[in-house]
Amino acid sequence: MRVDFHTHVIPSPDRLPDWKGQFGPGRWPRLESVAPDAAMLFMGETSIMKLHERFWSLDCRLQDMDRQGVDLQVISPIPMLSCYWAPPEAGQAVARFLNRHIAELVASRPDRFAGMGTVPLQDVDRAIEELRYLSGELKIRAVQIGSCPAGRDLDDPALLPFFQACIDTGTAVFVHPMQPLIGGERLQRYYLPNIVGNPLETALAMTRLIVGGVLEKLPDLRICFAHAGGAFPLVLGRVDKGYAARAEMREHISRKPSEYAKMIYVDALTFDPPSLHFVVEKHGADRVLMGTDYPFGLGEEDPIGAIEAADLPPETVRAIVEGNVWTFLGDGG
Integer distance in angstroms from the first to the last C-alpha of the chain?
10
Angstrom distances, CA of residue 288 to CA of 79, 100, 115, 282, 323: 21, 28, 19, 10, 10
Taking 70 as the pLDDT cut, the residues of the chain under it are 180, 331-333
CATH number at residue 282: 3.20.20.140
Q: Which residues pair with 47 in a beta bridge?
A: 42
Q: What was the pLDDT predicted at 333?
A: 41
Q: Are 76 and 118 in contact (CB under 8 A)?
A: yes
Q: Are 53 and 38 in contact (CB under 8 A)?
A: yes
The 10s digit of each residue's pLDDT in 5-41 is: 999 999 999 999 999 999 999 999 999 999 999 999 9
323 Cβ partners below 8 Å, 6+ apart? none
Structural domain of residue 274, as residue ranges? 3-8+58-329
Residue 51 lies in a domain: no
Residue 14 lies in a domain: no
Rounded CA gap, 138 and 136, in Å?
Answer: 6
Q: What was the pLDDT predicted at 308?
A: 98
Residue 212 lies in a domain: yes
Residue 17 lies in a domain: no
Q: What was the pLDDT predicted at 184?
A: 79
> How many domains in the chain?
1
Residue 89 lies in a domain: yes
State the amino acid at position 157 in one-letter form: P
Angstrom distances, CA of residue 75 to CA of 9, 55, 177, 300, 331: 6, 10, 16, 15, 19
Residue 278 lies in a domain: yes
Rounded CA gap, 77 and 38, in Å?
Answer: 18
